[in-house]
Amino acid sequence: MKIVPICLLSVLSVLAQLSRAQSGTSSVPEANSGRPTVSTPATLTPVGYLQFENGALFAEDSTEFSKRIGIGQVTKLSVLQRLELFLQSEPLAISQAKYRTAVHEGEVFAGVQGVLFVDDESRPTVSISYVRRVHTSVAPELDVGTFRQQRRFF
């Protein structure tokens, strides 16, 4: 007689595990290929996940170069729900001035971003960030004078 309750308990626990696995809810966030819609969104990546943003930049007819191609990389890591660290770099910068082509590494910036107010029905997410240049490159720049550090509120 004791075997029936034990078998019933075993079957119910197996079915409970199977039904939980079929629930369709996952703690892993879905990838969002449309993110970011702006260069530095106020919302952060999920905690513990690395986000890689890659791109290329082409420019021509500057006082420092006739053509320039740069490959950009931004790596983001949220360490807390409201705190994200990021590293922005240009691993490759190829420039051409007259008949001379130069290949360099670009500049590297490190930063931190924190969420001050979280989005709700009546107000948007508000964040603040701090960015600092940690490596200066000899590659020609697109602008006149790159900043050493920057504070932004958005």
Q: What is the pLDDT of residue 93?
A: 87
Q: What is the dihedral of CA 134, 80, 30, 89, to 10 degrees?
A: 0
Write down the pTM of the prediction.
0.65
pLDDT band (50, 70, 90) for residue 12: low
pLDDT of residue 128: 87
pLDDT computed for residue 36 by the predictor: 56
Region 20-42 average pLDDT: 60
Q: What are phi and psi of 99, to 5 degrees?
A: -110, 15
Query: What is the structure's pLDDT at 32?
Result: 59
* pLDDT 10s digits, 45-72: 888 888 888 888 888 888 778 888 888 8
Shortest CA distance to 127 belongs to which of 96, 101, 153, 93? 153
Question: What's the CA gap between 112 and 70, in Å, rounded?
Answer: 24
pLDDT at residue 153 is higher than 70: no
How confident is residue 29, by pLDDT bands cut at 50, 70 and 90?
low
Q: Does residue 61 come out as left (phi exceeding 0), alpha (psi in the -120 to 50 range) or beta?
A: left
Q: What is the model's pLDDT at position 146?
A: 59
Q: What is the pLDDT of residues 71-128, one digit of tens each?
A: 888 889 889 888 899 998 888 888 888 888 888 888 888 999 888 888 777 777 788 8
Q: What is the mean pLDDT of residues 20-48?
A: 65
pLDDT on residue 16: 55
